[in-house]
Amino acid sequence: MSDSRHGPAGEPDILVLPGPEDVSLAAAEWIATTLGQAVAGRGRADFATTGGSTPIGIYRHLAADPLRRRVPWTDVHVWWGDDRFVPRDHQLSNVLPADTILFAAAEYSGQSGNRTQGTDVEAGIEPGVPVPAGNIHPFPCSETIGRGGTPADCARTYAEALAASPMPVVDGLPRFDLILVGVGPDGHVMSVFPGSRAFDCDALAFGIPAPTHVEPHVERVTLSPALLGVASRVLVVAYGATKAGIIGRAFGEARDPRSIPAQLTRRVGATWILDAAAAAQVPPAIPVRSH
Ligand code: 6PG
């Protein structure tokens, strides 16, 4: 039985690989396949990516051949599950790694200094992936900050953009083709922290006060946790021993996403790709695949 507030019941597909580099490559391949399927099915793919350090290795693989050539990037729309309320070029921005690695924006804008990877159209060598600028949909943090607005203002504008997008609507919520998330040390996903008020409101996006228990201590904006329940596919990626405890708890018998928001992604239609260190405390009763 599907309940969009908590996601469909069941267990995700869990893939356990030896180390972080295996995880990044497998995640990038999985994303490339999923985006291709979405474009084949509905003419575009709506992909919400994540922040933190997890996407960096993934972006490197997506931006390099063979994956760069495999994905129909011009039909991919990139959104963000959450961001820090800072300008887009701030070092804490969740958009900056995508701009730098996935889209190679500095190369295109000529701001990279020596342009060692500069565009060479004839040779077919281009930096980054060719997602049209109009398909890139960050939270409007820079614009909101520039006009003296708040994270709540920023979230409202983003919610309007989501509502105006041609994504299918399920239970009043836009259905992403793919949402990628990492797992925080407290079990948060996107910027939905344990006990978040976002569980009790119907908005599509929220301004979130600066968390004091996890870094960085800056205000955030986040999508609604309910969107994780209706997304066609959700990919959870985590590696390293520091994630083992919380991931073990996420797969415990008690299901309470308000306490462990990562449990929102413990659902059919979700895939978790973990390294052996991060998966070390997944209870033996939970089926995992390993290569
Ligand atoms: C953020 C996030 C957050 C992140 C996790 C995992 O903006 O901080 O989007 O939900 O994905 O905290 O972070 P790491 O990838 O750094 O482990």
Mind listing the pLDDT tens digit for each residue in 109-158?
A: 554 444 444 444 445 555 789 999 999 999 999 999 999 999 999 999 99
Question: How remote is the CA of residue 53 from the centroid of ligand 1, in Å?
Answer: 7
Question: Which of ligand 1's atoms lies nearest the C-alpha of 50?
Answer: 9
Q: What pLDDT is stored for residue 8 in this prediction?
A: 58
Q: Which residues pair with 78 in a beta bridge?
A: 47, 136
Pairing of strands 178-181, 205-208: unpaired
Question: How remote is the CA of residue 118 from the centroid of ligand 1, in Å?
Answer: 31
Question: How remote is the CA of residue 55 from the centroid of ligand 1, in Å?
Answer: 9
Q: What pLDDT is stored for residue 214 in this prediction?
A: 93
Q: What pLDDT is stored for residue 185 in this prediction?
A: 96
Q: What pLDDT is stored for residue 230 in this prediction?
A: 97
Asked if 237 and 182 count as a contact pair (C-beta separation under 8 A), the reply is: yes
Least confident of 65-74, 96-105, 246-255: 96-105
Question: How far apart are alpha carbons 211 and 198 in whole angstroms?
Answer: 14
- H or E segment at 32? helix 20-42
Instruction: Spell out which residues line ligand 1, taking CB within 6 angstroms.
Output: 50-54, 82, 94, 181-184, 188-191
Which residues, 6 or more positions from 266, have their beta carbon under 8 angstroms from its beta carbon?
A: 7, 11, 12, 250, 251, 255
Question: How remote is the CA of residue 165 from the centroid of ligand 1, in Å?
Answer: 25
Least confident of 18-32, 101-115, 174-188: 101-115
Q: Is residue 5 over pLDDT 60? A: no
Question: Which of ligand 1's atoms lies nearest the C-alpha of 82?
Answer: 9
55 to each of 20, 60, 173, how far by Cα in Å?
Answer: 11, 9, 25
At 159-205, the pLDDT tens digits run 999 999 999 999 999 999 999 999 999 999 999 999 999 999 999 99
Question: How far apart are alpha carbons 267 and 260 in whole angstroms?
Answer: 14
For ligand 1, atom 10, the nearest C-alpha belongs to: 190
Q: What pLDDT is stored for residue 50 in this prediction?
A: 98
**Nearest to 20, CA basis, from 237, 191, 186, 215:** 237
- For a ligand 1 pocket test, name from 91, 183, 196, 235 the mutation site with the most ligand atoms within 8 angstroms of its C-beta: 183
**Nearest to 189, CA basis, from 178, 181, 197, 200:** 181
Determine the average pLDDT of the residues in 241-254: 97
Q: Is residue 25 over pLDDT 50? A: yes
